[in-house]
Structure 1
Amino acid sequence: MPKKRIKDAKPSKISLHMLAPIKAVMRVVSVVVVLVLVEATTVVALAVVSVTVVMVAVVLALVVL
C-alpha cells in the first residue's frame, strides 16, 4: 500500500506543476482573445461608421446637385 501511495503522489505533484503553466497560458490566451475581439468589434464599428458617413455624403451630394 505505501508504495502505491508514493507512486500515486508523484504523478499528482507532476500534474500540479504542469497545470500551473497551462493555467497561465490559458489566461494569456483568454486575454489575447478578448483583445482581438475588442479590436475586431472596434474595426467593424469604424467601418460601419465610415460607410454610413460616405453614404450620407453621397446622398447629400445627390440632393444638393
Structure 2
Amino acid sequence: MDVIVLGGGLMGTASAYFLVRRGARVTLIERNRIGTGATVASFGNIRRTGRHLSQLPLA
C-alpha cells in the first residue's frame, strides 16, 4: 500500500481513482457506505462561484 485515503465522498474517491491511474496502490477507508457522508449531505454540490481563480480547475 502506498497511499491511504480517508473518506469515500466525492473528493476521496476521485483522489483514490486518479492515484490508482498513476500506479499507486491505494486503500480507501470510509466509516459508512461510499458516498453517504458530507457529499450526500451537500447533495454533491461543488461550489464554483466565489472561488479564487486558481481553485477553479480543482473544483
TM-score range, shorter chain: under 0.3
TM-score by length of 2: 0.26
Instruction: Determine which structure has the larger strand proportion and give its number.
Output: 2
> Which protein has the larger Cα radius of gyration, Structure 1 or Structure 2?
1
Instruction: Determine which structure has the larger helix proportion and give its number.
Output: 1
